[in-house]
Amino acid sequence: MIGYWTFLLSFVDGYKTPWVNEATMFGQVHVDLLFHSAIVNMLRLYSVGSIGVDGAIPFPYYFGSHRIVEALSGILDIQPLTFYSVVFPLLLGPLFLAMFFFFAVSFQTFLLNREYFNRDSPSLRSELFWLVSAIVFIGIFPVEFRRNLGLFDNVFHSESFGIGVLVAYLPGVFFFEYIGRRSHMRLSVVWMILGGVYLAGLCMVKFSVASVLAGTAAYLLLRLKLAWRHRLFGFLTITMPLGYGLWITRGSPSGDSGPSVMEMIKPFAFLRDLIEPRLWVVSFVAFFGPFILFVLLRLMLPRTSTRKTWPARFRALEFLDLEVLSVLLTISVIPSLVISVPQGSTNFFSEVSYWFVLPMLSVVLSDRLRK
C-alpha cells in the first residue's frame, strides 16, 4: 500500500506522466521536465550545464542529480525526458522506501541498545509497525488539501530533492548505529574529512538538504566532547562544502540563474504566499504535529537501568536523538520564515526534517500502541 502511494504521489499533480510522448505532442509536458531534460542532454553531448537555448553557455546550478540521470539514462538507452517522467518514479519510490525503513530500523536499534525498548518491541516483522508506518506515511489529509497546507511531498516530485533526502538518511543511519553502541561518542579526523566530502557531494545534488544537515552537524560538534582543535577542523569541513554550495547556486547580475540570496530575503513570504490565513493553524498542526507527538512519546520512554534526574540525563546525552531532531527541525524551518525562493521552492528546506520525523515517529508510536 505504501509503495502504491509513492507511485501515485509521483503523478498526482501532472508534473510527470507515463504518457510523456503523447503529452509532448499536445504540448502538455511540464516545463520543469523540459528544463531538466535539456540540461541532461547538454551534459551528455557537450559536458556543459546549460539548457542550450543560447548555445553551450553554463549557468550556476547544482547538476548532481542531472549527472545521475545522464548516467542511468545512458545505460538504459532512454531519452532523458522519458527517464524523468516514467523510469525515475519507478526507481526512486522503492529506493526511498528502503532507506526510509532502514533509517527506522537504525533508530529502533539505537533505542534497544540504550535500553529504552524491550526485545519484544514491534519490529519490521510486526503487523502493528507496518500499519502505523502506513498511517504515518500516508497521513490523514487528502493530497490536494496537504498541498494547500504547504506540504508538497517533494521527495516524489523533485528529482534532486528526492535523491537528496534519500542520501541524507545515510548519516542518520551512521549516527544511530555509531552512538547506539557507545557510551561516549567521539569523532575522528577521518570521519570529519569523509563528512566534508559527503556534504560537498550533497551540495551538488540539493543545497537545501545539505545546508540543513550541515547546521545539524555543527550542533553535534558543539554538543559532543571534542578537543577544540577537532571542533575547529570539524567546522572547517562543514563551512568549505557550504561555501562551495553557495557558489554553484549563486545568483547572477542578469538574473538568468535566479535571484541572489539577499534578493530572496522576505520574512514570512512563504506563509503569506502559499497558505491561506484560514489554514495557518491547520498547516501548523499538519507539519509540526508529528514532531510534537514524537517528542511526547520519546520522553515517555522509560529507561530500565537509570535513576538519574532529567538534567543529569541531558548532560549524559541520553536525549541526543531528540536534540538532533529538534535542531534539524529548527534549521529546516528558519529559511521558510526568512526567505522566499521562486516557485514556492522554500519548502525544500522545511520538508527535510519532515521526512526524518516520520520514520522515528513510526517506531515509538508502534511501541506505545503495543503497550
In this structure, is residue 32 part of a structural domain? no
pLDDT digits (tens, 9 = 90+) for 290-323: 999 999 999 888 765 566 777 887 887 888 899 9
User: CA distances (Å), 308 to each of 49, 58, 182, 296, 302, in order?
Assistant: 56, 59, 19, 19, 12
pLDDT digits (tens, 9 = 90+) for 174-209: 988 877 666 566 677 888 899 999 999 999 999 999
Judge contact between 329 and 353, C-beta under 8 A. Answer: yes
Q: What is the 3-state secondary structure (H, E, C) of 228-242?
A: HHHHHHHHHHHHHHH
Asked if 335 and 350 touch (Cβ cutoff 8 Å), the reply is: yes
Summary mean pLDDT of the chain:
85
Q: How confident is the model at residue 22 (pLDDT cuts 50, 70, 90)?
A: confident
Residue 317 counted as domain residue: yes
Query: Per-residue confidence at 255, pLDDT binned at 50, 70, 90?
Result: very low
33 has a pLDDT exceeding 60: yes
Residue 64 has pLDDT above 60, yes or no: yes
pLDDT band at 242 (very low <50, low <70, confident <90, very high): very high
What CA–CA distances, in Å, run from 78 to 23, 32, 47, 86, 210?
A: 17, 18, 18, 10, 30
Answer for the pair 367, 346: CB distance below 8 angstroms, yes or no.
no
Give the span between the Cα atoms of 194 and 185, in whole angstroms.
17
In a domain, 159, yes or no: yes
How far apart are alpha carbons 333 and 330 in whole angstroms?
5
> What is the model's pLDDT at position 151?
85
Q: Is 58 within the bounds of a domain?
A: no
pLDDT band at 329 (very low <50, low <70, confident <90, very high): very high
**pLDDT at residue 31 above 90?**
no
Share of the chain above pLDDT 90, in %: 42
Q: Does the predicted model carry a pTM greater than 0.75?
A: yes
Which range among 49-53, 187-191, 277-281 shows the weakest confidence by mean pLDDT? 187-191
Q: How far is CA 57 from CA 42, 49, 257, in A?
A: 10, 8, 12
Q: Are 3 and 94 in contact (CB under 8 A)?
A: yes
Distance of CA 155 to the CA centre of its chain: 8
In a domain, 67, yes or no: no
Cell numbers for 263, please give them: 534578493
255 lies in some domain: yes
- Look at residue 212 and tell me whether its pLDDT is greater than 70: yes
Instruction: Determine how many CB atoms are found less than 10 A away from the CB of residue 346.
Output: 25
Stated as kind and residue range, the H or E segment containing 99 is: helix 88-113
Nearest partner of 257 among 247, 267, 265, judged by Cα: 247
CA count, 13 A, side-chain hemisphere, 69: 31
Alpha helices in 258-346 (DSSP H): 269-274, 280-300, 310-315, 320-338
363 touches 328 (CB < 8 A): no
Domain span at residue 303?
92-370
- Establish if 227 belongs to a structural domain: yes
CA distance 73 to 65: 12
Q: Residue 265 forms beta bridges with which residues?
A: 339
User: 66 lies in a domain?
Assistant: no
Number of domains in the chain: 1
